[in-house]
Structure 1
Amino acid sequence: MTTDHTHAEYANTSAVAGLAREVETLRRAIRKAAPVQDAHAVQLHKLAGQLDELAQATARKGPADKVVAPSWLSLPSDADAVAEVLDELLTWLCAVYLRYADAAASLSDCWLWHPEVVEELVWLMHTWIAAYEDENASATAAGDWHDRYRPGVVRRIKTAIGTCSLENHTSPQPAPRVPLVEAAEAIVTWWGTARTAPAPEPTDAHLAAATPAPSTWGNRR
């Protein structure tokens, strides 16, 4: 899906190309005002050529050198879209992720009931694709995947799931909610107009509505 971020992807390309055009214009002006063999004109001509090569190389890369990972947490309410992401993930888990002993040990039977865990795995899968299968895949990216990304995801999954099991999901769990949304108006007024003053005090209604922060999804120890 195209968003305003697409324009940002090409910002560097446009900037380099624009600079190359400016240098070329300046080079032509110097050529008219001084002999071509003038040292400054020669250097400027060389710089114009280097900038043009850089602009072309940047344009060839464009945004295609970035593998975009879909977010499991913000997928559309569409069963086909969800199935497509999950099918790809399940295949990749069997082929790659579960080949690592620590990863296999951290993935409990109830992992599918933890949206934050699925989100981590979808993201990790796409970093692996970027490192190994993308047209701009590199050994450096693969090294990052092994050294930082995969161990980091395994560690966070262990924290998120802990000792949770399928039995903990037999009773319906409420979806998480943003605490005290009703206080947003007071915060907007304070932060937007008088942030150097003390923050507004919570009202009795706020205190009554406050509840302990929930632990991980379905993790009821």
Structure 2
Amino acid sequence: MNDDDLDPMSVEGLDARLVNVETILPDLFDMYELRAAGGPYYWETLPHDQAVKLWDELGKFVAWLDGRYLTNLADPSYRLPDCWYRHPIAVEELTALMVAHRAAYDTRSAKASSALVDWHHRALWPTLDSLKIRAGLAGCRDRSEHREPHAGPTAFIVSDEYLRHVDMNTSP
């Protein structure tokens, strides 16, 4: 006899219905939970306590990533320097990789899928390639000390000149 054969009003039927509700309830809370603008991984908007928690999670994820993958690669240029957390691009990309990993390995889904392969081929390896090329880690990896990422030109700010340009180019 399976759950479909149970009388929904019997004790066994009610118990089975309760188990189903308890199974889907966490997913419903996740879907409808009110979050701050930008979500729980948008560093710019996180309150201090949430940022501390995310830094802790990210540090543990990077330690796991290093031990599981990076130390086992033949190409040492993929290794993260000890100061990876001081490189904003690395922080953002590693946060995204961690979130994608969490979703791919979500234990609430017992269905077989290609999510794990997708994580490796669409998230892990492209992120590692991106970090190698874009994050400014090479200077730190090749030396024993942190090198600030190249500052380049002055950072963009929304200036009055910019706003005038936008106004002139969007007016009817």
TM-score by length of structure 2 reads: 0.59
Q: Please tell me the root mean square deviation across aligned C-alpha atoms, in Å.
A: 3.3
1:87 aligns with 2:56: yes
Q: How many residues align?
A: 129
CA apart distance, 1:146: 0.7
SS in 2 for 1:191: helix
CA apart distance, 1:114: 0.7
CA apart distance, 1:178: 1.3
CA apart distance, 1:106: 3.2
- The aligned residue for residue 90 of structure 2 is 117
- The aligned residue for residue 157 of structure 1 is 131
Q: 2:116 aligns with which of 133, 142, 147?
A: 142
The verdict on how the C-alpha distance between 1:180 and 1:86 changes in structure 2, with shifts beyond 3 A counting, is closer
Q: What is the correspondence of 1:21-36 to structure 2 with a 5 Å cutoff? A: none
Maintained 8 Å contact 1:89/1:121: yes
1:127 aligns with 2:117: no
The 1-side partners of 2:46 and 2:68 are apart by 31
The structure with the largest alpha-carbon Rg is 1
Maintained 8 Å contact 1:124/1:149: yes
CA apart distance, 1:189: 1.9
CA apart distance, 1:192: 1.8
The 2-side partners of 1:120 and 1:141 are apart by 19
- The aligned residue for residue 3 of structure 2 is none
The 2-side partners of 1:116 and 1:157 are apart by 8
Higher helix proportion (structure 1 or 2):
1
Maintained 8 Å contact 2:100/2:119: yes
The 1-side partners of 2:31 and 2:67 are apart by 27
Q: 1:107 aligns with which of 59, 76, 80?
A: 80
TM-score by length of structure 1 reads: 0.48
The 2-side partners of 1:180 and 1:121 are apart by 28
SS in 1 for 2:104: helix
The verdict on how the C-alpha distance between 1:97 and 1:62 changes in structure 2, with shifts beyond 3 A counting, is farther
- Report sequence identity in percent: 24
Q: Which runs of 5 or more structure 2 residues have no equivalent in the other structure?
A: 1-23, 33-38
The 2-side partners of 1:113 and 1:97 are apart by 17
Maintained 8 Å contact 2:87/2:137: no
- The aligned residue for residue 22 of structure 1 is none
Q: Which amino acid aligns with 2:93?
A: E
Q: Which amino acid aligns with 1:154?
A: L
